[in-house]
Structures are given as structure tokens and as C-alpha cells.
Amino acid sequence: MATRHFLNLLDLSPDELRYLIQRAISIKNGLKTHGPTYTPFANRTLAMIFEKSSTRTRVSFETAMAQFGGHALFLSSKDTQLGRGEPIGDTARVLSEMVDAVMIRTFAHEGLETFAAASTVPVINALTDDYHPCQLLADVMTWTELRGSVKGRTAVWIGDGNNMCHSWINAARQFDFQLRICCPEGYEPRQDILAAAGDRVSILRDPMEAVMDADLVTTDVWASMGQEEEQAKRESDFRGLQVTEALLDRAREDVLFLHCLPAHRGEEISMTLLDDPRAVVWQEAGNRLHAQKALLEFLLLGPVES
């Protein structure tokens, strides 16, 4: 059977994604009631290649492997031969001989695809310039935990048409919800990704209009990793798109606010938004651990009965 990779949300079917969300919730509840006694990854190793910084992704994958009885290797591109020009495909073949799965955080999505094409073990996208699908597993898990099925509901993305926005678009397709994107002119998501989602996804310019009666509002930093030099220009271009408590007041009374984090208070969110009870970002961040466990389990062992 061909090796399954998770490079974006379209690599799994809607049924498989729904299974992962339910499985992640079940793993989380099991951890609370029974403690970490389930160790299906004994003698399994995950290689984690990081070409960009990370807190949540690294800690959640490493902890997931440890709690499930396996081991994770942190590989910074600076310290491996990748940083000295060893071809990506050669690295993929070498790691495939030794480890059970590989997780990669990098810049160009094509580099990840090149790696996956040469890898005989599952490869997981831990963020590229184009997508961040692991974050969406935790986000949809959080939304589902708190509000039940997300099918037919309405989420609003405020900000840059970036890697997170692209993943929200794919999530709208796979989980069948409506997505309104509110971004400045010139910062739209990629046209092909948008077009493939059909009329589930719309672009609006006025945040007050975009959030009206929404079930969920989310945003992200205005300048992503690798765009630090554009910070000042982006601060000016995104003015007026800050998510505030007053903006959430326009949404449904039970609206949830998500942010993948790290957040810049005073930029894309108000200074106090994360203290508002509608913001569930700490639960969202914690759910990275459980979602990662469900994903790794699925890729290494296949679906299991909860």
C-alpha cells in the first residue's frame, strides 16, 4: 500500500478527518481519566525537521511521541547536512531507512513535496509558506468539542490570506462549513485554492459585515515567519482589521475566537482579547497535543476503535 502523507488537509478524506477529530477528543478524555498508559509507539521514532522557529508544534509532537511510548528527534536544518546542501530527496531516503515518520516545518511547500515523494515513511506538514494543516486539526477539534458538529456553520477569517487562511479554506471544503475571509486588497489567498472551495468561501472587505452572526472568528499575525521585513508595511495595510471584543459582539452570542498563536496583542488582536471568555486559544493550543497523537496514530497504525 502506498505510504500516506499529510501535506495538506486534502490528503485525507472528509470521513478520515472526522474520524481524526473524534479520535483526538477520545484520546484527550482517556488521558484525563486513565493517565498516559496507552503506549502504541514503543520503539517508534519521529524525525522532526525544523527550518523555522516553533513552540507549540515542537512541544506537541515531541510530547505526543513520548506519551505514546515512542521517541522524537529534533533536527534543525542548521545542524544537519540539509543545511550544507545535501539534496532533500537523499535526506528523505536516508531517514526512511531509520525512522517511522518525518515531520517537517519549512518555507517552500515544494520542498516538502519533494521530500514526501522520496520518503517511504509518512511525512507530515508542520507548516510551510502555503499550509499549516496540523493547526487546523486542533482548531476543528476545539470548535467541535465546544459546539458540536461544524457542518453548515460559519467561520470568519480576518487578516492575511496566508498559510493558515489556506488551511481554513481546505477545512471549509473537507468539513463542509461556510468561510468568510476578510482581508485587505492585495492580501487575498491563492486564487486556485479559493476557486477549488467553490461558493463555501467568500471574500469580504468590511470586518463588521464579515463577522455578522458568525459562529467562529479567527485571525493570525499580519507578517508570517519569513516576512519580517514587511512588518511595517503590513501594519499599515492591515489597519482596521484588528479583532476586538466589540467586533465579536457583532457575531453570534456563543461565538468562539481562535488564534493559532503566537499572537501580537495590539496588532491583529486588541490588548485584552485573549482574556475574553469567547477566546479559547489556550484550549486550542493544548489540543495540538491530542490532535497530533491522533494523526500520528492514524499514519503509523491506521484507524483504531475508540
Whats the size of the chain, residue-wise? 306
Residue 31: CB minimum distance to ligand NVA, A: 24
Residue 133: CB minimum distance to ligand NVA, A: 12
- Annotation-wise, does 163 bind a ligand? yes
- Annotation-wise, does 290 bind a ligand? no
- Annotation-wise, does 288 bind a ligand? yes
Instruction: Compare residues 162 and 270 and give the one whose CB is closer to ligand NVA.
Output: 162
**Residue 56 interacts with ligand CP (CB under 6 A): yes or no:** yes
**Residue 154 interacts with ligand CP (CB under 6 A): yes or no:** no
**Residue 204 interacts with ligand CP (CB under 6 A): yes or no:** no
Residue 69's region, left for phi above 0, alpha for psi from -120 to 50, else beta, is: left
What three-state secondary structure class fits 162? coil
Catalytic residues: 105, 132, 135, 220, 260, 288
Residue type, 152: G
Residue 13: CB minimum distance to ligand NVA, A: 25
- Annotation-wise, does 182 bind a ligand? no
- Annotation-wise, does 265 bind a ligand? no
**Residue 54 interacts with ligand CP (CB under 6 A): yes or no:** yes
* Long-range contact set of residues 29-35: C-beta below 8 Å, sequence gap at least 24: 31/67, 31/290
Instruction: Compare residues 152 and 226 and give the one whose CB is closer to ligand NVA.
Output: 226
The residues, ordered by sequence, that sit 6+ positions from 87 with a Cβ below 8 Å of its Cβ are none
- What does the DSSP 8-state code read for residue 97? H
88 alpha carbon, distance to own chain's centre: 23
Distance CA 134, CA 119 (A): 19
Q: Based on the number of CB atoms within 10 Å of its own CB, is 126 exposed (0-12), middle (13-18) or buried (19 or more)?
A: buried
Distance CA 204, CA 186 (A): 13
Q: Given the rule CB under 6 A, which of 51-59, 73-81, 107-115, 203-211 is the region that contacts ligand CP?
A: 51-59
Instruction: Compare residues 45 and 54 and give the one whose CB is closer to ligand CP.
Output: 54
Instruction: Compare residues 75 and 118 and give the one whose CB is closer to ligand CP.
Output: 75
Distance CA 152, CA 133 (A): 20
- Annotation-wise, does 165 bind a ligand? no
Using CB under 6 A, which of 21, 141, 179, 260 touches ligand CP? 260
55 binds, among ligand NVA, ligand CP, none (CB under 5 to 8 A by kind): ligand CP
224 binds, among ligand CP, ligand NVA, none (CB under 5 to 8 A by kind): ligand NVA
Burial call 95-106: b when 16+ CB within 10 Å, e when fewer: bbeebbbbbbbb
Instruction: Compare residues 103 and 116 and give the one whose CB is closer to ligand CP.
Output: 103
Residue 285: CB minimum distance to ligand CP, A: 7
Using CB under 6 A, which of 66, 73, 261, 304 touches ligand CP? 261
221 binds, among ligand NVA, ligand CP, none (CB under 5 to 8 A by kind): ligand NVA
Task: Could you list the beta-strand ranges (E) of the chain.
Answer: 45-50, 71-76, 101-105, 123-125, 154-158, 178-182, 201-204, 216-219, 256-259
Residue numbers belonging to the annotated binding site for L-ornithine: 163, 220, 224-225
Q: Which residues bind ligand CP (CB under 6 A)?
A: 54-57, 127, 135, 260-261
